[in-house]
Amino acid sequence: MLKIYGIAQSRAFRVLWMAEELGLPYEQVKVGFENMKVVDPRLHALNPNRKLPAIDDDGTVLFESLAINLYLADKAGGPLRWANAAEAGRCYQWSLWAANEMEPKSQAWGYEKFMKPEGQRDAKAIAAAAEGMAAPLSVLQTTLAGRSWLAADRFTVADCNAAGVLYRLLWFEGLAKFDKVKDWLDRCYARPAALRARKMREG
């Protein structure tokens, strides 16, 4: 059976969401952190980067959350998988875009807003980090002005991956300025599988 390593409060959230979308039977191995580091040797054995998440799918061992989701979509088939080469290209494109163009900026904002020790948070730094997200969010806004979903005429792994990266932006008031992105993110997170994954993460 598929084993997903990582607590839902880590990037394992993205994989748990995907597994829920696909209706896969899976076991979650709730590996967490000690002083921000993953010290569990079971995880070290699977991921030499010592980061969450990792999976062991009956001997297929993988790390990198968004790559794991592409693998699961491909293996499971169905509507979340690409139906042709063009859709495949867009699934890869938006997954890599999310990791490379969006995540560094959204992580920086999430850090300033939620993760920095409370006494050290300041409005100026939060606003600067929010401004840092403007360029990639504009790209998404323009794209979603022309289509409802990123890779196809339906929700696919591309949406799951990009929306998974944007999780913290559910609490970003400035998203109102990017109304198409907000509408898309709300539609992604209204899905029953997303609600189940959020429940695991938020309780």
Ligand X SMILES: N[C@@H](CCC(=O)N[C@@H](CS)C(=O)NCC(=O)O)C(=O)O
Which residues of this protein are in contact with ligand X, per CB under 6 A? 10-11, 37-38, 50-53, 64-66
The distance of closest approach from Cβ of residue 53 to ligand X in the complex, given in angstroms and rounded to an integer, is 6
Nearer to ligand X by C-beta: 52 or 178?
A: 52
For residue 5, give the H/E element and its range.
strand 2-5
Nearer to ligand X, 52 or 80 (CB): 52
* CB closer to ligand X out of 48 and 119: 48
- Distance between CA atoms of residues 79 and 95, nearest Å: 17
What b-and-e string marks burial along 20-35, b requiring 16 or more CB atoms within 10 Å of the CB?
bbbeeebebbebeeee
Nearer to ligand X, 72 or 141 (CB): 72
Is the Cβ of residue 43 or residue 182 nearer to ligand X in the bound state? 43
- Comparing CA positions, the residue from 83, 66, 86, 88 lying closest to residue 18 is 66
Report the nearest approach of ligand X to the CB of residue 43 (Å).
8
Please, what is the minimum distance in Å from the beta carbon of residue 201 to ligand X? Answer: 11
- Residues with Cβ within 8 Å of 180's Cβ and at least 6 positions away in sequence, in order, are 140, 141, 144, 145
Q: How far is the CB of 122 from ligand X (least distance, A)?
A: 24
3-class DSSP state for residue 26?
A: strand
What CA dihedral angle connects 143, 144, 149 and 153, to 10 degrees? -80
* Residue closest to ligand X (Cβ): 51
Closest distance between ligand X and the C-beta of residue 166, in Å? 13
Name the nearest CA neighbour of 162 among 93, 67, 98, 83: 98
